[in-house]
Amino acid sequence: MMRIPKHPTRGSVAGLAVLALFGVIAWAGGGGGASTETNPVTTGPGGGRVSGAPSPAPADIQSFRVNFWENVRGGNRCGNCHGAGGQAPQFARSDDVNAAYQQAAATVDRDFPGQSLMVTKVGGGHNCWLADAGACASILARWIQDWVGESASGGRQIELEAPIALDPGASKRFPATPPAEFAAVYDLLDRFCSDCHQSNAATPQSPYFAAGERPFNPSLAVHAEAYNAAIPKINLDQPADSRLVIRLERESHNCWSADCKQDAAAMRAAIQAMSDAIDTTQIDPGMVVSKALTLRDGTVASGGNRYENNLIALYEFKSGVGATAYDTSGQDPAADLTLSGDVSWVGGWGINVRTGKAQASTTASRKFHQLITATGEYSIEAWVTPGNVTQEDTRIVSYSGSATARNFTLGQTLYSYDFLGRSTATDANGLPRLSTPDADQRLQASLQHVVVTFDPVNGRRIHVNGEFTGDLDSAGGGTLGDWDNSFAFVLGNEVSNDRQWTGVIRMVAVHNRALTLQQIQQNFEAGVGEKFFLLFGVEHLVNMPRSYILFEVSQYDSYGYLFNNPKFISLDPAATPGSIVLRGMRIGVNGVEPHVGQAYRLLDTVISDAGYSAAGGQALSSIGTIIAVERGADEDEFFLCFDQLGASSGVCSNYASVGSSSVADVPRPPDIGVRTFDGINATMAAVTGVDPNTAAVKAVFSNVRQSLPATHGIEAFLSSHQTAIAQLAIQYCDALIESPAASSYFPGLDLGGAASTVFASDAGKDLLIDPLIERMIGTGLATQPLGTSLKGGTAPAGEPARPGLYALVGQLANCGGSCSADRTRLVAKATCGAVLGSGAVLIR
């Protein structure tokens, strides 16, 4: 998309506005600059840009020589062509540094080193000395940044550029389930890509859009996986721009015939057929919408302000493809990492380590030994998202030889970061380890900035999210003379592959100085990943020239964008809003409004002259929200929708109320249940008349309370419950029989008599049994067993006979003529216990 040219009269007023708005100085003082403060604007209105090309000065030439010229003039880099007598510009000529300086100075953008001609040219594929043009561009930008950063006199500012005003487009959307027409695309993918692009391939490469086997069946989970993996690689609106087509046509990526263009055409035709079968989603004309933007239409806002004076290795994972993560520190030799195992690239820069690692060669890794032992101190800095908080003794960043020999390691154990470092104060395995305490739970499964530092005085220190954890190194400081230069630098695992860490690594930097807390905080504040300022045009909705809703947007991970800090602003410094009502703002993606993540849906504010300033606009919210990625960062088109903005109003979306759902009948469980613990105790007390506070009863209840049924469900009744019930029952019966109340409870029963006499007849037994049945089981109740059945052991029809209470009493009373004196009471207690602990009492 073309840019609107910068307004010729915007000058410093607009610059001032933007400077104050963000409070950031992109790359102020260069990558190594310590300053993070916004530079004061000293020019008056119309005084031109804040920063500009400084006059050539000896200091600048010296900086050029050290930071840039020495790096590019080699025959394996730009010096091969752009040397003396070579192609213009001869900025890499070795014969005359002053002449080279003059040539180079004319081609670099001191405000935005990343936009220098030589950077964009190399980034576009012009003779990169690495396999990844992006990595060359990053390195080149860093050299320029180091050069101008040391000498530039002006600060850096984000300068907003007005995007071209485009209406949110009607677009085609992928159906949630695979359409039948995807089968043709899948056939090609499965036939020609499944050697790599499926998880069970010999060399699996995500995305797994060739998962499964033909024929395509949309109801199979594995084919749904293939469809979902293919979605980001397909452009329904412009099939020729689909990544699946471009990869074949322009990049000749594993074409299956000798003619890549023909293969690409086949793929394009299949995608076109799929696209033709999908209807276009039109934006409702009644909706109040802003102009539309993609992420790439925004102004890049990140990349600066980090403290990197002593950087010796830097991994930003910008490549996004391939099996190499480049060291873009610009510090030779580059310790590039080879990705192996299940390690995939993450949207918004990063790698996702599942099972595998990213490791540098031992040769390239020697620079860590060489550069760190030279200073005797170091820092490892990383932006990581641990995959979970359950992994133990794992390696995030390590420079080691095995699981028991290392120079340094940053690792994870549950909620703790571990720091192992070899020095004269520790052993060859870097032990004792320094860990953040478990209870602090410093490590969370979310994006965190962790920096571990070592210096000879303080020893090891751990900093998380810009904060020193306060944990002191028990081993103290030391020197690094024992370091081993044969180790390899590795991410995500031990070099011996037996300390697997899972999670996402967004950035890793190694410095050969211990960063100060201030420097760490500076790097933490700088953040990680790409950030864009998106200007959503609303001039057509409000009576204010060049007005926009400004969002900070970044790709948060592979699955979501972070929309943050919305502001209303005009690029016309003279404009004022008056009074503009803003109510209900929603973020739209590709022509429709996602239902999830609409954090500004309830926004209700007035943009007024009082709240607005030309410098900072008017903040609408300090809240950020996550909007799901649909087609990928290059293609997703965003717009805003408003319930009301100014005089315009409409309804973005109607969220339908969900009525109560119908309720189905469920099988009716049994109507009966068992008494529960307190109920059993209370029932036993009630039917025996024994006070539950009786010491012996209370003690037993206290013992067996939690062994008694806790729920009334009869299906949950266990034999252990019955054991506890029997204990309690016999205790209640003991208390009853031994109490004076026993005589009134059992009228006519001689508890002091001889058992053989007292229970000689059924009538004698009835004196014991009848009161028990009447009080405990009840009489005249159809829902309870009949007393006669209980006494005689009569079983229901069809069931075997069972012993009754008569038989029980008779058996107990029969002691062969040698009964003890208390036998009658014992028989009474046992019989009472049998009735009291029975199902007839317990079931209700």
Partner 1 sequence: MVVVLALAAFAAGLQPAAAGPRERAKRMYDRLTGTSPSPALLTDLATRVQSDPVGAALYIMDPGSERSKNFYNVTLKNFATPWTNRDQAVFAPLNDYTATVIGVVRDEVDFRSILVDDIVYVGSGVSPAYSPTSNAHYEALESDNADLRLVLTSTAQSSLNGLPSSATAGVITSRAAARAFFIDGTNRAMFRFTLLNHLCRDLEQVHDPSLPPDRIRQDVTRSPGGDSSVFNNNCVGCHTGMDPMTQAFAYYTFQYDADPEQGRLVYTAGQVQPKYLINSDNFKPGFVTPDDRWDNYWRLPGRNTSLGWAAGPGHGNGAKSLGEELSHSDAFAQCQVEKVFRTICFRSPSDDQDRLQVGNSTATFKGTGNLKHVFAETAAYCAGN
Residues 584-623 that bind partner 1 (CB under 8 A): 595-602, 621-623
- Residues 64 and 149: their CA atoms lie apart, in Å, by 10
Q: Which of residues 257, 444, 486, 788 is near partner 1 by CB under 8 A?
A: 444
Residue ranges with strand state E in 125-230: 171-172
**Is position 343 an interface residue for partner 1 (rule: CB under 8 A)?**
no
* Nearest CB to partner 1, comparing residues 465 and 739: 465
* Nearest CB to partner 1, comparing residues 378 and 732: 732
Stretch that binds partner 1, among 209-217, 473-481, 489-497, 835-843 (CB under 8 A): 835-843
**Is position 338 an interface residue for partner 1 (rule: CB under 8 A)?**
no
The nearest distance, CB 811 to partner 1, in angstroms, is 9
Q: Is the dihedral of CA 274, 276, 277, 282 positive or negative?
A: positive
The nearest distance, CB 447 to partner 1, in angstroms, is 6
Q: Which of residues 5, 8, 58, 670 is near partner 1 by CB under 8 A?
A: 670
Q: What is the CB neighbour count within 10 angstroms for residue 779? A: 11
Q: Which of residues 199, 254, 362, 558 is near partner 1 by CB under 8 A?
A: 558
Cβ atoms of 209 and 197 closer than 8 Å: yes
**Is position 203 an interface residue for partner 1 (rule: CB under 8 A)?**
no
The nearest distance, CB 831 to partner 1, in angstroms, is 9
* Nearest CB to partner 1, comparing residues 8 and 796: 796
- Residues 804 and 811: their CA atoms lie apart, in Å, by 11
Q: Which of 584, 571, 560, 582 is nearest to 638 (CA)?
A: 560
**Is position 239 an interface residue for partner 1 (rule: CB under 8 A)?**
no
- Residues 683 and 692: their CA atoms lie apart, in Å, by 10
**Is position 760 an interface residue for partner 1 (rule: CB under 8 A)?**
no
Q: How far is CA 336 from CA 11, 43, 125, 316, 649, in A?
A: 43, 45, 19, 11, 55
* Nearest CB to partner 1, comparing residues 290 and 502: 502
Buried b (16+ CB within 10 A) or exposed e, 454-493: bbbeebbbbbbbeeebebebebebbebeebeeebbbbbbb
Residues 252-311 that bind partner 1 (CB under 8 A): none
- CB neighbour list of residue 173: distance below 8 Å, 6 or more residues apart: 236, 278, 281, 590, 591, 592, 630
536 bridge partner residues: 549
- Residues 225 and 230: their CA atoms lie apart, in Å, by 9
* Nearest CB to partner 1, comparing residues 196 and 830: 830
Residues 798-817 that bind partner 1 (CB under 8 A): 799, 802-803, 808
Residues 173-192 that bind partner 1 (CB under 8 A): none
* Nearest CB to partner 1, comparing residues 470 and 481: 470
Residue matched to tokens 């600059």: 33
Q: Which of residues 2, 457, 574, 666 is near partner 1 by CB under 8 A?
A: 666
Stretch that binds partner 1, among 42-50, 231-239, 272-280, 702-710 (CB under 8 A): 702-710
Between 348 and 377, how does the x/- string for binding to partner 1 read (CB under 8 A)? --x-x-------------------------
Q: Which of residues 785, 792, 806, 822 is near partner 1 by CB under 8 A?
A: 785
**Is position 818 an interface residue for partner 1 (rule: CB under 8 A)?**
no
**Is position 662 an interface residue for partner 1 (rule: CB under 8 A)?**
no
**Is position 783 an interface residue for partner 1 (rule: CB under 8 A)?**
yes
**Is position 550 an interface residue for partner 1 (rule: CB under 8 A)?**
no
Q: Which of 747, 789, 771 is nearest to 688 (CA)?
A: 771
- Whether the upstream peptide bond of residue 215 has omega within 30° of 0, thus cis, is yes
- Residues 345 and 506: their CA atoms lie apart, in Å, by 10
**Is position 162 an interface residue for partner 1 (rule: CB under 8 A)?**
no
The nearest distance, CB 353 to partner 1, in angstroms, is 10
**Which helix or strand (DSSP H or E) is residue 535 part of?**
strand 531-537
Residues 457-496 that bind partner 1 (CB under 8 A): 464-465
**Is position 784 an interface residue for partner 1 (rule: CB under 8 A)?**
yes
- Residues 174 and 631: their CA atoms lie apart, in Å, by 9
Q: Is the dihedral of CA 587, 588, 593, 595 positive or negative?
A: negative
Residues 707-736 that bind partner 1 (CB under 8 A): 710-713, 719, 722-723, 725-726, 729-730
Q: Which of residues 5, 85, 659, 747 is near partner 1 by CB under 8 A?
A: 659
Cα radius of gyration rounded to whole Å, the chain: 40
Q: How is residue 780 written in tokens?
A: 């005249």
For residue 746, which phi and psi values (nearest 5 degrees)? -115, 75
Q: How many residues sit close enough to partner 1 to count as binding (CB under 8 A)?
A: 113
**Is position 23 an interface residue for partner 1 (rule: CB under 8 A)?**
no
Stretch that binds partner 1, among 328-336, 610-618, 750-758, 785-793 (CB under 8 A): 785-793
**Is position 519 an interface residue for partner 1 (rule: CB under 8 A)?**
no
Find the farthest-apart pair of alpha carbons in the chain and give their distance in angstroms, rounded.
134
Cβ atoms of 824 and 750 closer than 8 Å: yes
**Is position 792 an interface residue for partner 1 (rule: CB under 8 A)?**
no
Residues 559-588 that bind partner 1 (CB under 8 A): 559-560, 562, 564-565
- Residue type (1 letter), 226: A
Q: What is the CB neighbour count within 10 angstroms for residue 345? A: 19
**Is position 386 an interface residue for partner 1 (rule: CB under 8 A)?**
yes
Cβ atoms of 355 and 497 closer than 8 Å: no
What 3-state class would DSSP assign to 615? coil
**Is position 699 an interface residue for partner 1 (rule: CB under 8 A)?**
no
**Cα-Cα-Cα-Cα dihedral of 702, 708, 712, 717, to 10°?**
180
* Nearest CB to partner 1, comparing residues 648 and 784: 784
**Is position 447 an interface residue for partner 1 (rule: CB under 8 A)?**
yes
**Is position 745 an interface residue for partner 1 (rule: CB under 8 A)?**
no
**Is position 655 an interface residue for partner 1 (rule: CB under 8 A)?**
yes
* Nearest CB to partner 1, comparing residues 547 and 598: 598
**Is position 85 an interface residue for partner 1 (rule: CB under 8 A)?**
no
**Is position 668 an interface residue for partner 1 (rule: CB under 8 A)?**
yes
